[in-house]
Amino acid sequence: MRGGLKPPRLPKVGKWEVCSIIVLVGLLNASVGYMYVEAKKSDITVLYIDGAPEDIVFIADPHLREQNIGHTLLIIDEINQLDPSLVLIGGDFAYENESGFHYQEVWSKVDAPVYAVLGNHDYKAGLTSAGWIGKNLAVSGACYDLEGYDVSSLRDNTTDLAFAASLEQILEENGVHVLGNEYIEMDLNGTKLLLVGVDDGWAGMADPPSVPATGAFTIYMIHEPECRADWDADLILSGHTHGGQFLPDNLNIPGKDLSGLVERNNVKTYITRGIGTSNLEIELRLFATPEIVVINPSTPPEQIFSGEKISYVRVDG
């Protein structure tokens, strides 16, 4: 090229650089493979709580679809082996634009009464990247006081009431009783329980009911932990966060509770890592294995399962 620009000289790639690239690609593939395997496992967390009924099982965030229906069936089999007195599900049954909801028929296989609340995916609220960011920003503008609780500012044109109603109908047909800002009193093997289900916060549907004064053990369920109030509860159960999904367990993020037992103003909340994943083409998790929570098991889970990771948490009154 006489008088013109000379073509740029490409750097030489030696054998060590080639080896480094091969190692990096191998590590990436191994990491993805590990995350895929971890998403197909499950851990059991045991909560020991004085005064609580025995054998309550809690899960959340199934996000049912073809890629995880087999794993969900395994989770349900493990739940049945725990012989629960009651199964609670903390929302996000749906995955994106599911139609027909035929995957939700799996809940009919649970051998116990099942009660649930809906989550933001069940209303299609905040599913896109922009919507997710917007909801996280809007959360700080809502009111979570006991008097004057109001999350209506989170409700926008993404809240799909028809979608949620269709899902709820299928859930009810398959044995899942959805509590939408309602409570129910029950007796579990001689122990009184007051169960309060608060509808989804991100969808702007949460409107906690007035509950009677009672000596019963009181559990509140709400999908998003950041939308909870300091209710008169012995325990609040939430999901939504997936435990960070790719973040180390017990990682402290200021202003954000991701998983485990947390306490605020003497009110205790357990945030489960959930059992499914969302917004990914394949099921991936890292440092946040799917989780089954069981409260006061009458039979220690290690007598039922071999090789299962079992953690114990004492919830003091």
Could you read off the pLDDT of 99-127 as tens digits, one per residue?
789 999 999 999 999 999 999 999 999 88
Q: Is residue 72 pLDDT above 60, yes or no?
A: yes
- Write the CA distances from 37 to 64, 154, 225, 283, 286, integer angstroms: 18, 36, 27, 9, 9
Please name which of 96, 92, 111, 136 lies closest in space to residue 274, comparing C-alpha atoms.
92
If one compares 39 and 283, the residue with the highest pLDDT of the two is 283
Residue at token pair 């480094």: 20
- The ranges assigned to domains in the chain are 49-315
Given a contact cutoff of 8 angstroms between Cβ atoms, the answer to whether 71 and 219 are in contact is no
Q: Dig out the tokens for 182 from the structure.
A: 């309602």
Range scoring the smallest mean pLDDT among 201-205, 215-219, 282-286, 308-312 = 282-286
Q: Is residue 277 pLDDT above 90, yes or no?
A: no
Q: Is residue 77 pLDDT above 90, yes or no?
A: yes
Name the pLDDT band for 29 (thresholds 50, 70, 90): very low
Phi, psi torsion values for 290, nearest 5 degrees: -50, 145
Q: Is residue 40 pLDDT above 90, yes or no?
A: no
Could you read off the pLDDT of 150-160 as tens digits, one per residue?
999 999 988 99
Name the pLDDT band for 92 (thresholds 50, 70, 90): very high
Given a contact cutoff of 8 angstroms between Cβ atoms, the answer to whether 219 and 236 are in contact is yes
Q: Which residues have CB under 8 Å from 296's CB, separation 6+?
A: 47, 48, 49, 52, 53, 54, 55, 56
Distance in angstroms (rounded) separating the CA atoms of residues 227 and 257: 11
pTM for the whole thing?
A: 0.85
Averaged confidence pLDDT in the chain:
85
Query: Looking at residues 237-250, what average pLDDT do you find?
Result: 72
- pLDDT value, residue 259: 78
Q: Is residue 25 pLDDT above 90, yes or no?
A: no
- pLDDT value, residue 257: 77
- pLDDT value, residue 11: 56
Query: Looking at residues 49-66, what average pLDDT do you find?
Result: 95
Name the pLDDT band for 63 (thresholds 50, 70, 90): very high
- pLDDT value, residue 87: 98
- pLDDT value, residue 83: 97
Range scoring the smallest mean pLDDT among 12-21, 62-71, 156-165, 169-178 = 12-21
What is the separation, in whole angstroms, between the first and last Cα of the chain? 83
Query: Looking at residues 40-60, what average pLDDT do you find?
Result: 91
* Chain mean position to CA 47: 17
Q: Is residue 208 pLDDT above 80, yes or no?
A: yes
Three-state secondary structure call for residue 134: helix
Distance in angstroms (rounded) separating the CA atoms of residues 173 and 175: 6
Name the pLDDT band for 41 (thresholds 50, 70, 90): low
As a whole-number percent, the residues of the chain with pLDDT over 70 amount to 79
CATH topology of domain 49-315: Purple Acid Phosphatase; chain A, domain 2 (3.60.21)
Could you read off the pLDDT of 256-268 as tens digits, one per residue?
777 789 999 999 9
